[in-house]
Amino acid sequence: MSDQPLLEVKDLKVSFHTYAGQVQAVRGLSFSLSAGETLAVVGESGCGKSVSAKALMGLLSCPPCEIKPASQILYQGKNVLQFQEAEWSAFRGKECSMIFQDALAALNPTLAVGRQIEENLIVHHLASRSAARKKAVEMLALVGIPQPERRARQYPHQFSGGMRQRVMIAIALACDPKILIADEPTTALDVTIQAQIIDLIKALQGKLNTAVLLITHDLGVVADIAHRILVVYAGRIVEQGSRDEIFYSHRHPYTWSLLRSVPRLDLTQKEELVSIEGTPPDLIDPPAGCPFAGRCRWCMEICREEEPPEVQFSPGHSCRCWLHHPDAPDWQTPFQRGDGVLC
């Protein structure tokens, strides 16, 4: 893994103009991604995961969407938000690829899957037709599709859900992109197939040194693959850290609640699964203070009034919660408190 970030997202703010008002879907997201790294973005439905991913790929329609002017998405130092359409076309698929939850909807139903891989290579001028045909079969074999030569001639509906997801990964990785964005790649699959797809992404990432941005609502999915985790709530990062920091020394009540809501194979003492009560705030009129205040059992007066500052616990591990302020009352919590440095 390289220390030099491949991608740097700085203060990304995305809104949608609707009849009801301006939906502030992403409210100041900043993070970086290095070559060979797997960064997981985890949060409940509607917290801005897909909108952020689409912003990275230039897939948002503006209007109704608006990316605020101070936002920056630097790919190898260049702000992709200033790309013209031709630059986006060169970037998508070749530098950065994306796989989606619903492979059937994402694949072209009228083209054989091998042909879909070939087209990707040809569009980016990376191979002749005959070389692309050979590479398509190699890619299908790489993602574990048996009898790849025969399967290359088949259409998406002739594949099972898990196999279709493998095909999508083959298409996404055919041009050897430096970044793979996987938006809920396993949500539609059953648990065993889910684990196989995650193992496949992990193996390919190790082999090809691709940086992976893995988006999911389920912390359980990323336990075995993520190097770092961003916990996102209501369009903001509320905690970030290494995989071990998030799983074993998390500091934010929302991270703790998320962890309690997923099955954990690594725990010896089995705890009862608990869903998070309440709903996220309205993003048309987000609260002035902590966005989690309405659902947090440790909520204090200040939480409703002022947004908590970022508190750093170690390089790379930080969270936004008033419980870590030196003046916070001495609550007993099931996660660690205090000793942070206010940023």
Ligand X SMILES: Nc1ncnc2c1ncn2[C@@H]1O[C@H](COP(=O)(O)OP(=O)(O)OP(=O)(O)O)[C@@H](O)[C@H]1O
Q: Which residues of this chain interact with ligand SF4, rule CB under 6 A?
A: 253, 290, 292-293, 296, 298-300, 303, 308, 321-323
Q: 200 near 259, Cβ under 8 Å?
A: no
Distance CA 257, CA 39 (A): 20
Which option in Mg ion, ligand SF4, ligand X, none does residue 47 bind, with CB closer than 5 to 8 A by kind? Answer: ligand X
| Beta-strand pair 65-67/96-99 | unpaired
Piece in contact with ligand X (CB under 6 A), picked from 46-54, 109-117, 123-131, 202-210: 46-54
Smaller CB separation from Mg ion, 2 or 279: 279
**Minimal distance, residue 252 CB to ligand SF4, in Å:** 6
Report the site for ligand X in 134-153 (rule: CB under 6 A). Answer: none
Report d(CA 130, CA 127) in Å as an integer: 8
Q: Is the peptide bond before 64 cis (omega within 30 degrees of 0)?
A: yes
Comparison of 58 and 308: residue with beta carbon closer to Mg ion: 58
**Distance separating alpha carbons of residues 179 and 80, to the nearest angstrom:** 14
**Can residue 16 be called a binding residue for ligand X (CB under 6 A)?**
yes
Task: For residue 50, state whether it binds Mg ion (rule: CB under 5 A).
Answer: yes
Residue 257 Cβ vs ligand SF4, minimum distance, rounded to whole Å = 9
Calculate the alpha carbon distances from 39 to 17, 248, 309 in Å.
Answer: 30, 17, 23
Per CB under 6 A, does 281 bind ligand X? no
Q: What mask, x for binding ligand X by CB under 6 A, covers residues 62 to 81?
A: --x-----------------
Q: Is 47 in the site for ligand X (CB under 6 A)?
A: yes
User: If contact means CB under 5 to 8 A according to the sort of partner, which of Mg ion, ligand X, ligand SF4, none does residue 323 touch?
Assistant: ligand SF4
H-only helix segments in the chain: 49-57, 85-91, 103-106, 113-123, 129-142, 148-151, 161-173, 191-208, 219-222, 243-248, 253-260, 301-305
Q: Is 166 in the site for ligand X (CB under 6 A)?
A: no
Only segment of 13-21, 41-49, 195-203, 333-341 that touches Mg ion (CB under 5 A): 41-49
Give the count of beta carbons closer than 10 Å to the beta carbon of residue 24: 21
Residues 99-138 as x/- pattern, contact with ligand X by CB under 6 A: ----------------------------------------
Q: What is the C-alpha to C-alpha distance for residues 54 and 5, in angstroms, rounded to an integer?
A: 20
99 in Cβ contact with 172 (< 8 Å): yes
Q: Which two tokens stand for residue 238?
A: 């509320």
Can residue 50 be called a binding residue for ligand X (CB under 6 A)? yes
In one-letter notation, the amino acid at residue 282 is D
Q: How far is the CB of 299 from ligand SF4 (least distance, A)?
A: 4
DSSP string, 277-331: PS-PPPTTS--SS-TTGGG-TT--HHHHHSPPPEEEEETTEEEE-GGGSTTS---
Binding partner of residue 292 among Mg ion, ligand X, ligand SF4, none, CB cut-off 5 to 8 Å per kind: ligand SF4
**Residue 295: what are its φ and ψ, rounded to 5°?**
-125, 5
Q: In the stretch 196-235, what mask flags binding to ligand X with x, by CB under 6 A?
A: ---------------------x------------------
Strand-pair partners of 216: 42
How many residues touch ligand X under the rule CB under 6 A: the total is: 15
Rounded CA-CA distance 81/65 in Å is 13
Distance CA 237, CA 109 (A): 37
How far apart are CB 49 and ligand X at their closest, in Å?
A: 3
Shortest distance, position 106 Cβ to Mg ion, whole Å? 13
Q: Does position 23 bind ligand X by CB under 6 A?
A: yes
List of residues contacting Mg ion (CB under 5 A): 49-50
List of residues contacting ligand X (CB under 6 A): 16, 18, 23, 25, 43, 45-51, 64, 217, 283
